[in-house]
Amino acid sequence: MAFFLREGGRSPREVEETMSTSLHLEANASPEALFASVDMGTNSFKMIIVRADHSGRFFVIDKLKDSVVLSRESSCSISAQSQLRALQSLRKFKRLILSHNVPPRQTRCVATAAVREAENRREFVESVFEDVGFHVDVLSGEDEARLIYLGVLQFLPIYENRVLTVDIGGGSTEFVIGQYGKVKFAVSLLLGHVILTQKFVKNGDEMLRMREHIRMVLEESGLVEKVRELGGFDVAVGSSGTIRAIEKAVFHGFAREIASDNEVPVGECKRDWRFNRGELRSVAERLCGGGGGGGGGEGEIIRRNGFFKRRSEFIVAGAVLLEEIFEVLDIEEMVVSGYALGEGVIAETLANVFDGNELNANARWQSVVRLATRFNSKKRMKAAAQCARIAREIFEGIRKSNELANNQVKFRVSLDAKDLECLEAACLLHNIGAFTGQKGYHKQSYHIIMNGDHLNEYSGEELKIIALLARHHRKKFPKFDHPSMNDFPNEVKLKFRFLCVIIRMSFILQQSKCVNFQEMKFSQSCQGFKLVFKELEDQFLLPGSKQPVVEIIETELMQELEHFKKVFKQDFLILTSE
């Protein structure tokens, strides 16, 4: 049996015979698509690329963030220096978007307060289009707030709740009251952590003036009266990076340094992603030096310890602002969302491209994404997403070939959308146990999935299937009568074996560094199934090895292809093409 063969290495006759009898299932026929959003904020620019399907379900496959600070040199216009930083960042984003082959019509670039309030806004927007090719949508404050609420709905199961969403940005803070996906009230106030830092955070005498200024703006906006008029709110959600940084500080209690962005600390599984008023007050006091000062003394030590990293310059103003918001709106506890404006832009674009998707369809799936991102480093998350992409391609190809089999022998069970969701969930979660640093991480992944109320709205059977797929994505292939599957009916056992074969193959394939996973083509012929990858020009070597990665992957893949043949009763051929 051959693995990773060059497709062009086969004889013309073999290729012709295969092509004449095959059922081609092109990647672009799959009900999924790539989307990108670019958020040009006052403090930082953010880009996310997601893979989504018609249901509205998506997860992030790549993202990038740059600290630009558009208003650093001037608060009333975008300076030449700021424009240069912005264009450099956007060019980087554009290259990454192009590398993923995201269609232009599925890429949206938005700008917020700094561009919205700039005197030279028009000239700046035109320069972005001429230099990078992005059409910049300068959002109104209300539109920004609405999209933030839409983003929060993609992360938290709060569709039916009356939600107050607070998003502290560099140039403004957005407040939204929403329920059932509808915005009841939205307002954007010129209270941003960058603006407040530049204006007030200079010395201890300025801190009281900053608090007075914040209270004045909040009171004059009529925000408090409007919230009361709407009947208050069931849950308060914070969605910005500043609020997430404060929650992280609360969780760690300033007891030790936060690990690097690429690592997830042990004990993360107990993280509630919420904080109360007393905990926020403690953070604000310590940042301000314990006595309302300008962040000197102990606050400087905390920041130097790395708790807030790049955000340290503006975190004092952000914490004080949030403390005043808690006080004015009588917030006792705030839940933290990992999604905000960028994901809201994605959700709205999805609604425009895919008809019939629901705003709350993503909540169940996002509990999987939330658990994966909670435990996985960025590197492991990227690998998990790649594994899910390959698994989906194989699953969809096999399912469609089964549907088109006509009088040919079909599988004894049919695979459906819920089976695919369980498979993809297991792919995203298969390596979460690696955060412990211990051997047998796949067993740790199983226990994390099974223990704790992490996944929302999955049945007990679905939860166990996801956990077992994560458990058996490596090492010994489970037997049909494995004790862990005793509670499953025979049909579910057979489905599990199908899915297990797919996740094991996908796990090995995603480790290859010599093929382009953005370009895959699945087909079936009389010879069996075939998956073709486009070969990258450079052949990478593992550290300390003279053997190409492809050869090492082949060795591990041989056994899995044998498993595939036993379960599916057909061969599986993997090829590369130039």
**Element counts in the chain: helices (H) and strands (E):** 20, 16
Asked whether the predicted pLDDT for residue 22 surpasses 50, the reply is no
- Give the least confident one: 38-47, 202-211, 279-288, 390-399: 202-211
Tell me, what's the pLDDT at 2? 38
The CATH fold assigned to 3-29+376-577 is Hypothetical protein af1432 (1.10.3210)
Tell the residue number behind the tokens 């595939």, with chain if given. 564
Tell me, what's the pLDDT at 13? 35
Tell me, what's the pLDDT at 406? 55
Q: 62: part of which helix (H) or strand (E)? A: strand 58-67
Tell me, what's the pLDDT at 436? 82
The CATH fold assigned to 32-138 is Nucleotidyltransferase; domain 5 (3.30.420)
Q: What is the mean pLDDT of residues 263-279?
A: 66
Distance of alpha carbon 238 from alpha carbon 158, whole angstroms? 13
- The answer to whether 457 touches 362, Cβ cutoff 8 Å, is no
**How far is Cα of residue 301 from the mean position of the Cα atoms in its chain?**
32
Distance of alpha carbon 386 from alpha carbon 389, whole angstroms? 5
- Identify the residue with better confidence: 295 or 278: 278
For helices 490-509 and 549-568, the axis angle rounded to 10 degrees is: 170
Q: Superfamily for 142-339?
A: Exopolyphosphatase. Domain 2 (3.30.420.150)
Q: How confident is the model at residue 540 (pLDDT cuts 50, 70, 90)?
A: very low
Among 30-34, 391-395, 452-456, the range of highest mean pLDDT: 391-395
Residue range(s) in the chain whose domain bears CATH number 3.30.420.150? 142-339
Spatial strand order of the sheet with 274-276 comes to 182-189, 173-179, 163-168, 235-238, 333-336, 274-276
Q: Which residues contact 47 (CB under 8 A, 6 or more apart)?
A: 36, 37, 38, 39, 63, 64, 65, 93, 96, 97, 342
In terms of Cα–Cα distance, which of 471, 394, 458 is closest to 426? Answer: 471
pTM beyond 0.85: the answer is no
Tell me, what's the pLDDT at 203? 56
Asked whether the predicted pLDDT for residue 31 surpasses 90, the reply is no
Q: What is the mean pLDDT of residues 177-187?
A: 94
Average pLDDT of the residues of the chain: 82
Q: What is the mean pLDDT of residues 445-459?
A: 87
Residue range(s) in the chain whose domain bears CATH number 1.10.3210.10? 3-29+376-577
> CB-based burial of residue 284 (10 Å sphere; 0-12 exposed, 13-18 middle, 19+ buried)?
buried
